[in-house]
Structure 1
């Protein structure tokens, strides 16, 4: 998320005889491209490293993600102005950095061990991986997934086989739930596709296709159903207006609680 800061004072005037390029404000200096630089600032007693990117924009933008804190600022903005903006947003920056660190910690704790006896989160529960013989395809039995591979199989082979099974099951489950909910919403998607997007559970296009993240199969069924209904509802309202949420609420009255729960979900790493 970009956080806009206050616009800095105007830059020095152009030298005599130099004309501004079309589309630039009077007196504006032609931006000089700079490579992103790593800097550090003290926020509320904590040393925070950030990446500074110079960009064509009017205000300072802050984002916190997997790369940490990234600041995008106009070329003429001084470092002093940038760090003053960071001081103004210090509480927000530190909170977001803490959330990202906690998310990374939880992901590491949830990392799948690709070996016999490894744990695989599945529809809100856990499956135990079993490498107990040769079989063409994995077999789900209760809370165990018999992979059909011998015990001495390399982790890469086990991961490849389980991933293929996982995505195949996701595709079948999503198709079933779309068939269940679409008629009740009076829509019919043109296509239902899997996605591996890192930051989105699903999406819908104006052409009538919906995409659902196969990692949803880690989550409990109520969360999966909410995402399916959410994307199907977009085929009627391509926005998040009050009308859109009214459509979702017809089938998922508890969508607000589920949406909050999704924000805190941490799916395991598959590497």
Structure 2
């Protein structure tokens, strides 16, 4: 089944966590079932201490501003845009401003919008806290994980080599792991499978909607941002969050149409949304649904 070799079929994985397996009586000669989550023995190695040196950072600078009773920290980026833009995600406030705008003018713009900024930051913190309170996925055979808006079943096998096979008819993802594989390895394998599916599907949707809008993007890549689903730079480089693969195709298409529209309008003006509406008329409903679905996702990779 699913391409396994008939001469040496993989054994089903024992699904009870290894630490809860009862000890085998001394008189018994039958070993307990194999679990892939048996960590290989580790040998302690002396660690050589070195002076701590901060790694070079290419991140944009972060600034602090007293806003009412709060010290507000924000990330400042300079760009060729004509006005000051504000973006709030799990990393906090990001401000994008033209090079000609002084720091004093940027700070004043922040104070002008402080009520909106502080309310959005509070909302973001509450949503993040709600996500983190959800119990993490139990990585065992038969667990349910989200894929394209529906749950699929994770099937675990012990075999001679690591393999991943997805059956769309039964909606089962079969993972063959070598004996002794750790839970972290399984999680990395599932993440790699998600990312490969995302790369293939997102490129197809980008090409489809770029043709409908009559634009061309320069390049495309995946990101792992907290809850920022996509970005488009002034030189038409598009990045999409691979976690979008958890959602249904209409929500993926909304983000694709959104980022492609930035090629024509590098802002969120009404003209921008009119551009999105040319190729995705239901953008407002999709935007709200994406926000709702993102809060419902299980904690897969905390």
Q: Give the drift of 1:219.
A: 0.9
Unaligned runs of 5+ in 1: 1-53, 69-88
TM-score by length of 2: 0.57
Equivalence map 1:1-271=2 (5 Å): 55-57=64-66, 60-61=69-70, 100-101=125-126, 103-109=128-134, 111-134=136-159, 135-141=161-167, 142-149=170-177, 153-264=181-292, 265-266=294-295, 267=297, 268-271=299-302
The aligned counterpart of 2:78 is none
In 2, the alpha carbon distance for the partners of 1:101 and 1:191 equals: 34
Matched-pair contact (CA < 8 Å) for 2:65–2:71: no
The aligned counterpart of 1:51 is none
Change (3 A) 1:108 1:130: farther
- Greater CA deviation, 127-136 or 222-231? 127-136
Q: Secondary structure at the match of 1:131?
A: strand
Q: Give the drift of 1:58.
A: 6.6
In 2, the alpha carbon distance for the partners of 1:160 and 1:104 equals: 24
In 2, the alpha carbon distance for the partners of 1:65 and 1:165 equals: 26
In 2, the alpha carbon distance for the partners of 1:232 and 1:66 equals: 23
1:30-70 CA-to-partner distances (Å, cap 9, x unmatched) read xxxxxxxxxxxxxxxxxxxxxxxx945575557798799xx
Change (3 A) 1:270 1:175: same
Change (3 A) 1:97 1:190: closer
Q: How many residues align?
A: 198
RMSD across aligned C-alpha pairs, in angstroms?
A: 3.3
In 2, the alpha carbon distance for the partners of 1:67 and 1:167 equals: 22
Q: Give the drift of 1:184.
A: 0.8
Q: Secondary structure at the match of 2:153?
A: strand
Q: Give the drift of 1:108.
A: 3.7
TM-score by length of 1: 0.63
In 1, the alpha carbon distance for the partners of 2:71 and 2:300 equals: 27
Q: Give the drift of 1:102.
A: 5.7
